[in-house]
């Protein structure tokens, strides 16, 4: 099956999803979310594991061009769309291993947080820069990130919007492994998992994710706050200025 925003492959019991919007730093669109979910659904029965990422960049976040003239309700619905993908990763019965190259920012970083194992390139840059546009995190940055790295480090990333290098991300517990070639390492891990008892792997993931009802509730609250911020003039001005700079 062909897609507009991703490329897929199945090999050795592993399904591969490559983000294919490199000219836009693999920023996430609604179409991309739909295609990733469709690809995962198609792979769920035939593949024992999934490897997902971008060859040059994982993702620089949501595509800001979508935010032009977005009102509160549309902003809430867009955020919910990103939440759907994050929850789909977490509820997917097969383990999902993300390989992180280049920019891993905003919604891109947040989506990686809902994968099961994160393998990071040494030269990757990670961050939550949404505050620079007057918006809050789009797919769990306020909900999942504090659980992963702790409240204070999460607030540091959220409130400063600074990008951190891979070694700092590893020290924070934001990524699990740093590798010279994260795709190769992700494949090695996937192959190891593929050789384990299939049902045990699936039930182990389900057991670890047994608190998902709280995550769903908190993500919806985060989405509501995201929508409210789109009623702010400062937010609209910052987004419009960003779009103007991109257009020049």
Contact at 8 Å (CB) between 121 and 101? yes
* Cα 200-206-207 angle, rounded to 5 deg: 85
Instruction: Show the domain range for 105.
Output: 6-194
Residue 200 lies in a domain: no
pLDDT band at 141 (very low <50, low <70, confident <90, very high): confident
Residue 210 lies in a domain: no
Active site residue 31: no
The verdict on residue 247 lying in a domain is: no
Q: What is the pLDDT of residue 108?
A: 95
- Residue 244 domain-assigned? no
**Residue 25 in 3-state DSSP?**
coil
Query: Could you tell me if residue 237 is inside a domain?
Result: no
Is residue 229, in this structure, part of any structural domain at all? no
Read off the CATH number of the domain in which 152 is found: 3.90.226.10
Q: Between 53 and 248, where is the model more confident? A: 53
Asked whether residue 216 is assigned to any structural domain, the reply reads no
Q: Which of 35, 130, 185, 222 is catalytic?
A: 130
The string of pLDDT tens digits covering residues 199-215 is: 999 999 999 887 656 67
Q: Which residues pair with 192 in a beta bridge?
A: none
> Is residue 240 in a domain?
no
H-run or E-run covering 27: none
Q: What is the pLDDT of the chain when averaged over all its residues?
A: 90
- Look at residue 137 in the predicted model and tell me its pLDDT: 76
Nearest residue to 60 via CA among 125, 106, 118? 106
185 is catalytic: no
Identified catalytic residue from 110, 185, 222, 232 = 110
Q: What is the pTM of this model?
A: 0.89
Q: Give the total number of structural domains in the chain.
A: 1
């Amino acid at each position: 099956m062909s897609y507009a925003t991703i490329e897929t492959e199945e090999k050795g019991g592993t399904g591969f999803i490559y983000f294919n919007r490199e000219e836009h730093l693999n920023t996430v669109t609604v179409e991309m979310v739909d295609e990733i979910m469709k690809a995962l659904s198609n792979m769920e029965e035939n593949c024992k594991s999934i490897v997902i990422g971008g060859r040059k960049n994982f993702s620089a976040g949501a595509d800001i061009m979508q935010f032009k003239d977005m009102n509160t309700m549309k902003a809430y619905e867009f955020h919910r769309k990103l939440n759907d993908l994050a929850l789909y990763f977490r509820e997917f019965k097969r383990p999902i291993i993300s390989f992180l190259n280049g920019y891993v920012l905003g919604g891109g970083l947040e989506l990686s947080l809902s994968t099961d194992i994160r393998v990071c390139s040494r030269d990757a840059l990670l961050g939550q820069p949404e505050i620079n546009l007057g918006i809050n995190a789009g797919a769990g940055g306020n909900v999942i990130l504090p659980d992963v790295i702790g409240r204070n480090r999460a607030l540091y990333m959220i409130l400063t919007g600074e990008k951190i290098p891979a070694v700092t991300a590893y020290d924070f517990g934001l990524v699990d492994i740093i590798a010279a070639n994260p795709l190769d390492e992700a494949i090695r891990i996937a192959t190891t998992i593929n050789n384990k008892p299939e049902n045990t792997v699936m039930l182990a993931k389900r057991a670890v994710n047994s608190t998902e009802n709280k995550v769903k509730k908190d993500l919806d609250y985060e989405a509501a706050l995201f929508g409210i911020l789109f009623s702010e003039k400062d937010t609209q001005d910052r987004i419009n200025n960003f779009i103007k700079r991109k257009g020049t």
